[in-house]
A and B are shown apart, each in its own frame.
Chain A
Amino acid sequence: QKEVEQNSGPLSVPEGAIASLNCTYSDRGSQSFFWYRQYSGKSPELIMSIYSNGDKEDGRFTAQLNKASQYVSLLIRDSQPSDSATYLCAERDSGGYQKVTFGTGTKLQVIP
């Protein structure tokens, strides 16, 4: 059973600070990883995808992947109250239908 683990939080950060979200995964063969943001009562929206070891930056967001440690993280710089949501880490199967397995999510609260 493939697993994606996240701390459920809540993680509270002041406005303007850096929020750091972490995720570990069990399938050493996984190649593709995603971070989604989900507001309460809404469906997830993709923030970033990452496939290679190292960092990937997009605006205020930076995803980091370490395949040796089976670890994925998401940094949010200059956090805004509108960033308050649940952040879901996900991995994609390398074979078959390439289904996506989600972590339980980390709730982020950005305090004004």
Chain B
Amino acid sequence: GAVVSQHPSWVICKSGTSVKIECRSLDFQATTMFWYRQFPKQSLMLMATSNEGSKATYEQGVEKDKFLINHASLTLSTLTVTSAHPEDSSFYICSARYRGQNYGYTFGSGTRLTVV
């Protein structure tokens, strides 16, 4: 149980274009979704937290107009990287909080974004 499906698993796009990444909770309702970014040989850095039906809360230094997060339903959250540049190339991972024993967190499989 508590599975999050993340798509696409990898994407290559041209500079200046936008890319949308989807995370769907398959067997539970994800009221809260976290979006992380991970550069090579570095840890996961939290970008933003989203709650269903409300605006996302962005971490310091993360441009909210560049990384658009939509959490319109209890099973779907999306991250759109707008006007992507090569420095946005990274591994993006979503994580959903679910009700279990003392709350658990499950991760999507990640999206490898390469901007050329």
Inter-subunit contact B43/A98 (CB<8 Å): no
B interface secondary structure, majority = strand
Asked if A45 contacts B95 (CB within 8 A), the reply is no
Compute the total of residue contacts between A and B using a CB distance below 8 Å.
Answer: 50
Q: Is the CB of B95 within 8 A of A100?
A: yes
B46:A88 contact, CB within 8 angstroms: no
Q: Per-position contact with B for A75-111: 1 when CB-CB < 8 Å, else 0?
A: 0000000000000100010000111111111000000
A88/B107 in contact, CB under 8 A: no
Q: A41-B112, A43-B93, A43-B110 are contacts. A100–B105 as well, Cβ < 8 Å? A: yes
**A99 near B34: Cβ-Cβ < 8 Å:** yes
Contact, CB under 8 Å: B44 / A88: yes
Contact A49:B109 (CB < 8 A) given known A43-B93, A104-B42: no
Q: For B112, what are the chain A residues with a Cβ–Cβ distance below 8 Å?
A: 41
Number of interface residues of A (CB under 8 A): 21
Q: List 13 A-B contacts (CB under 8 A).
A: A41-B91, A41-B110, A41-B112, A43-B6, A43-B109, A49-B104, A51-B102, A97-B34, A98-B97, A99-B46, A100-B46, A102-B43, A104-B43
